[in-house]
Amino acid sequence: MTRVIIDTNVLVAAIRSRNGASFKLLSLVGSGSFETVVSVPLVIEYEYAATKTANEIGLDQSVIGPIVDYVCRVSEHQDIFFLWRPTLRDPSDDMVLEVAVASSSAGIVTFNTKDFDKADSFGLSTWTPKEFLTHEGLI
């Protein structure tokens, strides 16, 4: 089963709209179609970005906690014992890369694939949500 890290921008896109690949991907988390991995820093970023998005679009913030809690419940939890920073241009992206490497994931699902240009040097793939769902035969 393919193990991946879901970048925060994918979670935010799924919260913004029920249409599209991000929502479909988030709907499949925990279904057994693929495995997801999180770390404490990544979950904190999920909560911050999702709450900020909820405020921006007028969504009741009370829905954010259960979404993030569910992702945490069905995902593998990865401790990070080493840092390769800075590897990428954005420190938040480095955090995602570290989780992917530490968990021996296949790759990262993100809308910012170009920001993870060095992921391949760690043996990681990068996919947009649609590319990943297609790769896995889920659409």
Q: Where do the structural domains in the chain lie, given as residue ranges?
A: 3-135
Q: How far is CA 50 from CA 29, 45, 68, 74, in A?
A: 17, 8, 9, 18
Q: pLDDT-derived band of residue 89, with 50, 70 and 90 as boundaries?
A: confident
Q: What is the pTM of this model?
A: 0.95
pLDDT in tens, 31-88: 999 999 999 999 999 999 999 999 999 999 899 999 999 999 999 999 987 666 678 8
Give the per-residue pLDDT at 87.
Answer: 82
Alpha carbons 112 and 92: distance in angstroms, whole number: 12
Of 90 and 105, more confident: 105
Fold of 3-135: Rossmann fold (3.40.50)
Confirm if 15 and 67 have CB atoms less than 8 A apart. yes
Question: Which residue, among 118, 15, 21, has the nearest Cα to 58 in the 3D structure?
Answer: 15
As beta bridge partners, residue 38 has 77
pLDDT in tens, 94-119: 999 999 999 999 999 999 999 999 99
